[in-house]
Amino acid sequence: MSGRLLLALSVAGAAITGTAAALVLFAHGFQPYPPAASLAQVATDGIWITAGLIAWRCRPGNRVGPLMTALGVVDLARQLYWDSGLAFAVAQIVTSFSIPIAVHLFLAFPSGRLATRFDRAYVASVYTAALLLAPVGQLVDDPRGPVCPRCPDNPLLVEGLRAAAAPLQTAVAAVLATVLLVTTGLLVRRVRRASGPARRTLAPVLISSAVAVGLLLAVGVMSATGRRVEESPVLLIADAAFAAIPVAFLLGLLSTRLHRSAVADLVVELGTMPGPAVLRDAVARTLRDPSLRLAFWLPEGERYVDADGYPVEVRAGTGRAVTVLDHDDERLAALIHDASLLQEPGLVRAVGAAASLALENARLQAELRAQLDEVRASRTRIIEAGYAERRRLERDLHDGAQQRLLGVRLALRLARSRLGGATEVDELLAEADAEVVDALDELRALARGIHPAILAEGLQAALAAIARRSPVPVQLNVCGDRLSGPVEATVYFVAAEALANIAKHAHATYARIDITRADGWLRVAVSDDGVGGADPDGAGLRGLRDRVEALDGRLRVETPPPGGTRITAAIPCA
């Protein structure tokens, strides 16, 4: 809001107040109260009206402004004692509505809406009570009396009902006390349930109100004990406290305007096109809601995901509310935020608008991650299926062909022993046995290539076995943890292929296998002291790379400074 508009509204408020003050002072009617007290109350009403107009202008969609203005106007009616008895009576009735308006205002602050059905029903009943009791009161209430000897005649007064005046006043007092208690109770409950930001907004209003009500009660006590309260300074202080309440209301609303300037900062911050996580933090900061969650809409999957692509359930809960952010009629994302932010729908929308481009960008990133997760999951399933299939194949070979060939060897051996010694047939049988032994060796190598059965005993035993078969001495440093089948098989094949390469090409005198596990990664390093020069794009190493990367791992082939070759595979393992 511009300074000029603020000035204009202030002038308008002051003009209304000044007019009212003039009417109080110079009206050729009467003066029920001392001028000082009346002027103080008029000034208070003026502040209500001015603050209300400013609030109205700042937040046109918010009822807080109109309610504040109405409260000032209605209360002002009390100060204006018209010559006409009818006007006086009507002013009395109008003034009675300051109670329901005040209740409405307190319960609706700062959103301008009544949050619960109970709140709405309660406020409606207070309005109804005023509507019923105020006119009825004018039927029985004779303003003239010791308090106001110069008050005009009440034309609505029904003489026959005079007797009802005292009980009615008692009833009105009871209703007022009830309203005060219930309203206080509702506000206390609201403060207790409110989150941090909501409490900060409510605090100034509630504190100034508590002070004012406290002072008013003191005035009531003084009045009941027979003192003349009209001239007491306590009344003036109470008026001052009441004057502070509209200021507190306005400050509460202005503080939400401060949030809006944070939107400008957000726009600048989002110029750098941050990732989804940074975007969430920036939005949370702007809305002053650290618990805020950002869910990105995936149009294809028709679901929400978080910054990492994981599905998110988007629904309002206790103290939580959901605001869906759109851009060009397309759903972009949803904010799951503190329910108190609902009181500032404009702010949330402004943040959404400011963030829309970055949101679109972040949404695409989140979508990409979600798709990547799906691809990873399906790849893992394929790998595990392949692993299971290999194990089955190896078992079939072991339990079928290998056992049969061993049976053949036993039969050959039996035949030779039955033949009893060195004959030509025995030689033939011995040759046949040698063939079977070769076939068994080949079959065993084949089975091992498909799936090393010794892996059932763990990586340690399996690697010890290949280390023993290696012509180059191998030192093993293996952590003893059991890992998933595919990971163990992959590590085994990395070590086996690397050792085979070392035996064939490296001219090494020494090799070592180091397996460590840290930070969710399994690292296997096979190094030698040979001539180096391994070709990372050779068929063997490429096959290894595929195996390792299929598990989301990385394979590196390097020639460290002193010489030799080092093959390192890092595989994630939870």
Partner 1 sequence: MRVILADDAVVVREGLARLLTDQGVEVVAQAGTAEELVRLVAMDPPDVAVIDIRMPPGYTDEGLRAAREIRERVPGVGTIVLSQYIDVEYALGLVTGTSARVGYLLKDRIADVAEFVAALHRVADGGTVVEPSLVEELLAAPAARDPLAVLTGREREVLALIAQGKTDHGISEELYITRKTVEAHVRSILAKLELPADANENRRVHAALAFLRAVGARWPSR
Site residues for partner 1 per CB under 8 A = 395, 398-399, 402-404, 406-407, 409-411, 413-414, 417-418, 433, 437, 440, 444, 453-454, 456-458, 460-461, 464-465, 467-468, 473-476, 478, 480-482, 510
Per-residue tokens: 476: 């093993």
**Residue 21, CA distances (Å) to 16, 33, 70, 103, 243 in order:** 9, 13, 18, 26, 16
User: Which are the contacts of 3, defined by CB distance < 8 A and separation ≥ 6?
Assistant: none
User: Which are the contacts of 460, defined by CB distance < 8 A and separation ≥ 6?
Assistant: 476, 478, 480
Q: What is the DSSP string of 134-161?
A: HHHHHHH---TTTT-TTPPP-TT--GGG
Nearer to partner 1, 457 or 552 (CB): 457
Least Cβ distance, residue 468 to partner 1 (angstroms): 4
**Residue 72, CA distances (Å) to 98, 214, 547 in order:** 8, 20, 78
In this structure, which amino acid lies at residue 86? Answer: L
Nearest CA to 511 among 522, 500, 523? 500
Nearer to partner 1, 85 or 458 (CB): 458
Nearer to partner 1, 243 or 474 (CB): 474
Least Cβ distance, residue 466 to partner 1 (angstroms): 11
In this structure, which amino acid lies at residue 151? Answer: C
Per-residue tokens: 87: 């006007």
CB under 8 A, 24+ apart: contacts of 534-539: 534/501, 534/505, 534/506, 534/559, 534/565, 534/567
Least Cβ distance, residue 387 to partner 1 (angstroms): 16
Nearer to partner 1, 28 or 468 (CB): 468
* Cα–Cα distance for residue pair 67/109, rounded to 1 Å: 10
Nearer to partner 1, 294 or 436 (CB): 436
Least Cβ distance, residue 473 to partner 1 (angstroms): 4
Nearer to partner 1, 160 or 480 (CB): 480
Nearer to partner 1, 280 or 391 (CB): 391
Report the run of H or E that residue 171 belongs to, with start and end.
Answer: helix 165-193
Contact (Cβ atoms closer than 8 angstroms) between residue 542 and residue 509: no
Q: What share of the chain is helix, strand, coil (3-state, %, to 5)?
A: 65, 10, 20
Nearer to partner 1, 136 or 415 (CB): 415
DSSP state of 329: T
Least Cβ distance, residue 404 to partner 1 (angstroms): 6
Nearer to partner 1, 189 or 469 (CB): 469
Least Cβ distance, residue 481 to partner 1 (angstroms): 8
